[in-house]
Amino acid sequence: MGHPVDRSDDDLLRAVAGGDTAALRVLYERHAPWMSVRLMRRCNDQGVIAEVLQDTFVAVWRGASGFRGDGDVGGWLWGVAIRRLVSRLRSAGRTTQFVPLEAVPERAEISVEERVLTGVEYGDLGSAMGRLSPEMRAVVQACVLDGLTEREAAQLLGVQRGTVKSRLHRAKAQLRRDLVEGLT
Amino acid sequence: MTDAASWHADGDALRRWVSGTAGSMTSISVEQHVQRCADCRSAVATLVPAAPLEQVWDNVLADVEMPRLGVVHRLLRTVGVGPSDALVISSAVTLRFAWLCGVIGVLGFAVVAQLLAFDHVLGLFLVAAPLLPVAGVAAAYGPSVDPMYELVQVTPYLMVRLVLLRTASILVTSAPLTVAVGLLMPAPTAVAIIWLLPAAGFLAIVLTGSIWYDPLYLAGVVIVGWITAVIVAARFGHQLAVLAPGALAGYAGIAIVAVAVLLSRVIGSTPSWRLR
């Protein structure tokens, strides 16, 4: 087994399923920091974020055996956390608002790394995303990047499910058009 | 094309993401990458203040190490009972497990006696039925028996609510059983139901009396009194005389007076109330 610090996330999760709090601690040290930052980029209430993070790891403790074991522990954890955030924001009566990734304008020049990272080989996905309205970008972020269903995204954003559907549809159409224009 | 496995987000991008000054595209890029990259995750960890995360961890650990709540508690939660109510009810039910076994034992004995055509079986039922809820309620309160007594004392919980919840939980567990056994008795069907009236009177006496006395002591008085009454009635007439119309009116009267006293006492609640 080895020292918990040297073990893989999958391994740790299996140990957590067996009731090992030391393994949970190591998972927490590895994942809580980035998860807290990512939650902070979506919610402006520190108290809510602390609760969501706590709920998430308690849920992990109780449901660790439900992990499919495909290696993407980070993705699985984030899936739990973002859904906890959805239900927290809903039960908070929407006094705490979901904050889309749009508060700060992008720097004019985009570094090479960022281009590669966003998978931009032709056209310019970055600037195409930037031209989407904030509402449409929020829908793309929730459905595509956070992997929420349309229903969950609707709860998170406080709009009707049909609205999410149509905004996502229009956003994809606009992105496609922009990227094709970028080619010519 | 850069290899996805060897590429890492640059420190500047991570710092701007953590501080919230990165633009949307940088944020999206970093988030998608960090989710899968252990190296960049540790880099983020060094940029995030540790104290708030430690506090959250303490809460996680407290939740995780808390013993799992019992079946009764979870059942009550799933049917929509609030967490504190569920805890109160389930502690009344589960901690009274021995009492419930006693109820089942007494009633089971009555059934066996009935099947063996044992004499005085009706008397046995008459003695036991109205006393079971009293014994259960008495066993659920007071410093002498309640494992939650100290907890309850320091809990800002409406006392009337606690009393009623626990009493209800005890009635729910014992009354249907007793009625079912009563229907097996060689007596008018009404007897199977009518015992609820003296039971209500006794319960009201114990609950109201606990303002001044230990409920266990009160229950003892009630139990001895009732048994005496049944024996006397059996000796000088018929045992069912304890359930005669006049006696029933008496039980109802006792229950009404006791509940009235209890309510007036609760409305003008004084610190000397023992149930507090």
Q: What is the pLDDT of residue B96?
A: 55
Q: How far does B25 lie from chain A, in Å, by closest CA?
A: 6
Residue B72, both tokens: 């009764």
Asked if B43 is an interface residue toward chain A (Cβ–Cβ < 8 A), one would say no
Q: What is the pLDDT of residue A166?
A: 92
Q: Do A145 and B32 touch (CB under 8 A)?
A: yes
Please name the residue ranges forming H helices in chain A: 9-17, 21-40, 46-63, 73-91, 112-117, 125-131, 134-140, 150-157, 161-183
Nearest-by-Cβ selection for B64 from A34, A61, A101: A61
Q: What is the pLDDT of residue A112?
A: 45
Separation of alpha carbons B153 and B196, rounded Å: 31
Mean of pLDDT values over B110-120: 59
Asked if B31 is an interface residue toward chain A (Cβ–Cβ < 8 A), one would say yes
Q: What is the pLDDT of residue B120?
A: 63
Q: Do B28 and A38 touch (CB under 8 A)?
A: no
Nearest-by-Cβ selection for B25 from A25, A28, A126: A126
Q: Do A25 and B57 touch (CB under 8 A)?
A: yes
Residues in chain A: 184
Res. A97 pLDDT band, cuts 50 70 90: low
Q: What residue of B is the nearest CA neighbor of A105?
A: B23
What percent of chain B is helix, strand and coil (3-state, nearest 5)?
A: 75, 0, 25
Nearest-by-Cβ selection for A50 from B23, B26, B52: B52
Asked if B114 is an interface residue toward chain A (Cβ–Cβ < 8 A), one would say no
Residues in chain B: 276
Q: What residue of B is the nearest CA neighbor of A138?
A: B24
Contacts of B11 in chain A (CB under 8 A): none
Mean of pLDDT values over B75-87: 66
DSSP assignment string, A78-121: HHHHHHHHHHHHHHTTTSSPB--TTSSPPPSS--HHHHHHTT-S
Contacts of A53 in chain B (CB under 8 A): 53, 56
Q: Do the Cβ atoms of B201 and B252 come closer than 8 Å?
A: yes
Q: What is the pLDDT of residue A92?
A: 61
Q: Do the Cβ atoms of B194 and B183 come closer than 8 Å?
A: no
Separation of alpha carbons A104 and B40, rounded Å: 22
CA distances (Å), B53 to each of A34, B136, B205, in order?
11, 47, 54
Q: What is the pLDDT of residues B187-210, one digit of tens each?
A: 667 777 777 888 888 888 887 777
Contacts of A41 in chain B (CB under 8 A): 17, 20, 27, 31
Q: What is the pLDDT of residue B28?
A: 82
CA distances (Å), A157 to each of A39, A82, A170, B31, B254, in order?
14, 12, 17, 19, 60
Q: Do B41 and A33 touch (CB under 8 A)?
A: yes
DSSP state of B236: T
Q: Do B65 and A21 touch (CB under 8 A)?
A: yes
Contacts of A145 in chain B (CB under 8 A): 28, 31-32
Q: Do A145 and B10 touch (CB under 8 A)?
A: no
Residue A18, both tokens: 């067996």
ipTM of the complex: 0.73
Res. B30 pLDDT band, cuts 50 70 90: confident
Q: What is the pLDDT of residues A121-173, one digit of tens each?
A: 444 667 777 788 888 888 888 888 887 888 888 888 888 899 999 999 998 88
Asked if B29 is an interface residue toward chain A (Cβ–Cβ < 8 A), one would say yes
Q: What is the pLDDT of residue A108?
A: 37
Measured distance between the N- and C-terminal CA atoms of chain A, rounded to whole angstroms: 56
